[in-house]
Chains A and B, each alone.
Chain A
Amino acid sequence: MKYELTCINCPMGCRITADYDGKEVTNIQGYTCARGKAYAQTEITDPTRMVTALVGVEGTHAPLSVKTRSPIRKPLIFDALRVIRETTVRPPVRIGDVVVENVCNSGVDVIATENIEA
């Protein structure tokens, strides 16, 4: 399958094309530097993203900000968001507290990114 992507490493924003058969990325073209080639490789075979989101807090409309501790696989984003949005925490909360464990079996926890006093 033919892939077309924009490199995010610098403002050049190289348009990179490549082929991918599910096993191997071949025919990578359009990159200018090694970082671009490496980016194409991972972005095609295993794209991942950090997800930042909001969860509910008991007793207030004001939400708590959270993030995945590390990037999760891109296709999981919306499933993870759904799980995160169903979550409610009770203050106090400290930065780094686990809010959702192993979200969507990604192996990655969702953690608080701000402190909320009791």
Chain B
Amino acid sequence: MRKTDILIIGGGPAGLAAAVGAYEAGARDILILDREERLGGILKQCIHNGFGLHTFKEELTGPEYAQRFIEKVLAYQIPYQTETMVIDVSSDKVVTCVSRQNGLERIQAQAVILCMGCRERPRGSLGTPGERCPGIFTAGTAQKFTNLEGLMPGKEVVILGSGDIGLIMARRMTFLGAKVHACVELMPYSSGLKRNIVQCLDDFGIPLLLSHTVVDIHGREHLEGVTVAQVGSDLKPIPGTEKYFPCDTLLLSVGLIPENELSEMAGVKIAPSTSGAVVDEQLQTSVPGIFSAGNVLHVHDLVDFVSEEAMKAGANAWRYIRHELPQGGRKVPVEMGFGVGGIVPQFVSEDARDKVSFMFRPRNVYRNARVIVELNGEQVYAKKAMILAPGEMVNLSLPAEKLAGLKEAESILVRIEVPEA
């Protein structure tokens, strides 16, 4: 059986950074597997700017950002295999993959880093009633058609969901000559960045209909229009508020789902709140030697944080192989208190020596709030925040000394405190 020290599944932003991180930590026997023809993952089709402000202090487009990492991978001569699909990962880290050129291969790795990213939620999962006609695309599929293949899905567009991909596609379709009639958002707030709302919708006079949803889809052979209605606080449509929008294209930007099918095959525990792997502060999953990073772990807002996280996972995978990671010690569970959703990591080793980063999503919009970390009911950290919103991941970095009491702790609690109304 073919062998490798570190096998990375996915050659998108996470996979590339994991490889770079592992190499820079000292690993040399690394292999990246990617199912597409070219490295870069979803960044290849994200031709808009706004990437890399944190990492490179400049505003890059997706392909440019990816290229920075691809060039490092090439310079380090890290092997990679494209057009190779992983179909199985075992808990003892045997990875089975298939490709045209090599057929079916089984590769024994010492450490595996899961970097599969996520997929878009499809229409079916929303249960939106109506016809099942062509003209309905997830925003990412439409983006692939326009930006990579030069194909135009349609000219009259409605967008359901105001996630960043949906907003970006509102502008792209406008740039390509289409008319975007509305961006419809179920929630009373958008999960997209303010900057995207202003520069992708407001700049072109595209209305953002908050607390609205698509309640019917019309058109037998091709999409002809959608019925949009306002929703109440229970998120159910309010009868009498229906409005018809003629359109030939409905783009869906209604959420991302981490692609953890392979993780589950390997026996990796999945956290319901992130739909990603349960990890400790080293980004190690419940299966020793299997690490997870990027959007497959939890959906990020910024690629810069994906890269940072994946580099850390890469370095830790190497430390794992070198027996330099704390193994076998007690792991203290991280609990989500008021207002905190989808926290990563879910466990911290009691003998954690470095600083520990927590990332989570606020469950709602909170103003003048404080983010608090408690150990055994005792506050060890607090940080003020003028605004917290579900669209913006909170990133807390706790110095090791703040967690000095970990040895004795039953749990770590992270919560949000809001001023009394």
* Per-residue A-contact encoding for B372-409, CB less than 8 Å = 1, 0 else: 00000000000000111101100000000000000000
| Chain B residues positioned under 8 Å from A114 (CB to CB) | 44, 47, 63-64, 67
- Find the B residue at minimum CB distance from A43: B198
- Find the A residue at minimum CB distance from B391: A11
| Chain A residues positioned under 8 Å from B202 (CB to CB) | 6
| Chain A residues positioned under 8 Å from B327 (CB to CB) | none
B387 contacts A12, C-beta separation under 8 Å: yes
A65 contacts B47, C-beta separation under 8 Å: yes
| Chain B residues positioned under 8 Å from A13 (CB to CB) | 194, 197
Residues of B in contact with A (beta carbons under 8 Å apart): 44, 47-49, 59-61, 63-64, 67, 146-151, 175-176, 193-195, 197-199, 202-203, 365, 386-389, 391-392
- Find the B residue at minimum CB distance from A62: B150
Q: Does A87 sit within 8 A of B, measured CB to CB?
A: no
- Find the A residue at minimum CB distance from B195: A8
Chain A nearest CB from B230 CB (Å) reads 21
In the assembled complex, 18 residue pairs joining A and B whose CB atoms fall closer than 8 Å, in A order, are A5-B198, A6-B198, A8-B198, A10-B386, A11-B193, A49-B203, A50-B49, A50-B59, A52-B47, A54-B146, A54-B150, A61-B149, A62-B148, A65-B147, A67-B47, A67-B49, A113-B47, A114-B44
> How many A residues touch B, CB cutoff 8 Å?
30
B386 contacts A12, C-beta separation under 8 Å: yes
| Chain A residues positioned under 8 Å from B195 (CB to CB) | 8
Q: Which of A44-90 contact B (CB under 8 A)?
A: 49-54, 56, 60-63, 65, 67, 74, 77, 81
Residues of A in contact with B (beta carbons under 8 Å apart): 5-13, 32, 49-54, 56, 60-63, 65, 67, 74, 77, 81, 95, 113-115
Q: How far is the CA of A74 from the CA of B147 in the complex (A)?
A: 22
B175 contacts A53, C-beta separation under 8 Å: yes
